[in-house]
Amino acid sequence: MHDTFLRLFPGCTSQEFDGRCRVVIENVSPEIDGGCFPAKGVEGQRVRVEGDVFVDGADMLRSELLVRIEGESGWEIVPMEETGNDRWSASFTPCSVGRHEYTIRAWVDHFGTWRRGLGKKVDAKQNVTLDLEIGALLVDAAAGRASSADAKKLRSFAAAMRAKSPSKGVVAALDSDLLLLVGKYPDRSLASLYQKNLPLQVDCRKAGFSAWYEFFPRSWSSVPGKHGTLRDCMEAVPFIAGMGFDVIYLPPVHPIGTTKRKGKNNALVAQPGEPGSCWAIGSPEGGHKSLHPELGTMEDFTSFVAAAGEAGISVALDIAFQCSPDHPWVKEHPDWFRWRPDGTVQFAENPPKKYEDILPIDFETADWQNLWTELKSVFLFWIDKGVTIFRVDNPHTKAFGFWQWAIASIQEECPEALFLAEAFTRPKLMARLGKAGFSQSYSYFTWRNTKEELQEYMEELTSEPLRHIMRANFWPNTPDILHEELQTGGRPKFIIRLVLSATLSSNYGMYGPAYELCEHLPSAPGKEEYLDSEKYEIREWDLDRPGNIRAEITRINRIRRDNPAMHETANISFVRIEDSPGHEHEWLMGYVKRTADDSNVVLTVVNLDHRRVRSGWMRFPLEQFGLSHEHSFSVEDLFSGMKYEWNGEWNFVELNPAAMPAHIFRVTFG
């Protein structure tokens, strides 16, 4: 028996196993790769756990979710409810940042099973004298587990169940107060416990809800043509805060190499005075732990972070683990790079793009342990300067094992640290980065443009298991990406993509001022690169240029902040819009977001066509709210302030992209 036991029940010893524990617990969600990786949670945001829980025969069950901060001894207990087909669920709200764990416990509810059977026998007018005695014994047992006051009440119920009059005994046995009392003191002696404690990484609130604004400090000088400083950037903080952003993301702030420095519009040779790409990190002035001298001093940097914090904004830094040929690491640690037979290192490539000014790091170096330690120390250096959010450049080109180790160990020291993966790569690689610990990820949103593409992509992101692995951050543009739609769609298309990114996802960002000024010229036809890109030169921006969409951005960020339904991504459901009876509209797309208690419901309708007025009939899913198809309700357009009374599920919508290509309605049920 011993050999068979070990084979059939791996992970248990014969002393731990009790064959009388009959309840089966399986298919728990979220559970990422058998518990090898943590699911993702957000401080203050509800986490839902589900599992299949069942037992042989027809006995009733009780099930509960156990939750605790990792390392603590006691569990928080949350009762679970059956949702159908032996599926049980419960939710909890983590109140602290850091690693948590959870599991499920379940047992046969003998009292509940007995009570159900008693009711059936009473209805069938059968003799229940013996049944009442069996029930009284179960109540006696509960009294033995109860506090003194409740034990007295339970014994009183047991005595009433043993009364000479069976009818009085039945009344006592089926009393709802007795059911509640016995339920307070369950018999868990033969409870089944799920075989694993599953990990949950709870991140700070900005992991789940944030609005990012990226800009190049080099272009924010008050003197035309002069390199901007961090002191200059402090003047930009009120401007960015006024638009409603809560994360300022800075491209790399380190010294820039001169070897193979890129010139204007990615020219292979820089002209005198051209600043080069800030992603070509490192010079004799320092590397990843140094500040570009033209940006100012480290004191200027910490002052900038503090000024942003006073405005409610977190500063995110770009961490790009690559080196200019002039980086100190190239001389100090030559074995961290892969040298070719001619004595050179192959520059970085992402065909057809070539980065002649960048050397990639070799993660197969024999000195990998020292490499890992040094790279981790880069994050810790900037955390010490007040930065806890990092946008990581091309993490999919570095070892996954490194990220898993580095992020976990950094978050042990700084639980509020967040990491955004800039990885436009294959889906499985992006998912693996999420498993490895990245708090957020860039996404394919930029290249999802039709209604079908957008809805299909949202379904993918919000389905299991991806919703527990990868938090998407939607960007309509980046310094590297000017999509064809923005090149040709004019101001209406910029607003359309803004609305989509900000309302589909709870996390979104933009590269400005290029976006609010509707910059649309590419470096060449068919290219997604910006003409006169800030990556290679200092730009002068007229922030009040006619045609800008700063007011629309500000309005959307306020709408997002004021409506809790928009603080999550997975709480989305799409609505049907028809341009003729039975025919789905190609251009109008609508979707609902709602809080768990339905106290806030937001309906967004977007015209994806930037050229033409589009109209149609939209079906609002009243049945999802327990309402009839004829129910009347109110909607308020949070852009215009206009209010409408809608009668029933079908209502007419029309959007003119030249005026405003979207409605964002707050829904109120009468």
* Strand order, beta sheet including 24-29: 24-29, 47-54, 87-92, 81-84
Cα angle 281-285-288, degrees, rounded to a multiple of 5? 40
> By the 8 A CB rule, do 51 and 87 touch?
yes
184 annotated ligand binder: no
Beta bridge partners of 135: none
CA-to-CA distance for 16 and 23, rounded, in angstroms?
Answer: 16
Residues involved in catalysis:
393, 422
Q: Are 98 and 69 in contact (CB under 8 A)?
A: yes
Is 357 known as a binding-site position? yes
φ, ψ (nearest 5 deg) of residue 483: -65, 150
**Residue 643 marked ligand-binding:** no
- 502 Cβ partners below 8 Å, 6+ apart? 211, 474, 508, 556, 557, 560
CA distance 382 to 543: 30
Indicate the burial class of 647 (C-beta count within 10 angstroms; 0-12, 13-18, 19 or more): exposed
At residue 241, the 3 state secondary structure works out as: helix
535 is in an annotated binding site: yes
Please, which residues have CB within 8 angstroms of residue 530's CB and are 6 or more apart in sequence?
Answer: 479, 482, 514, 519, 521, 522, 523
601 and 536 Cβ atoms separated by less than 8 Å: no
| Phi, psi values for residue 600, rounded to 5° | -140, 120
DSSP state of 507: E
CB 89 within 8 Å of CB 195: no
Extract the annotated binding site for alpha-maltose 1-phosphate. 262, 322, 357, 394, 535-536
Extract the annotated binding site. 262, 322, 357, 394, 535-536
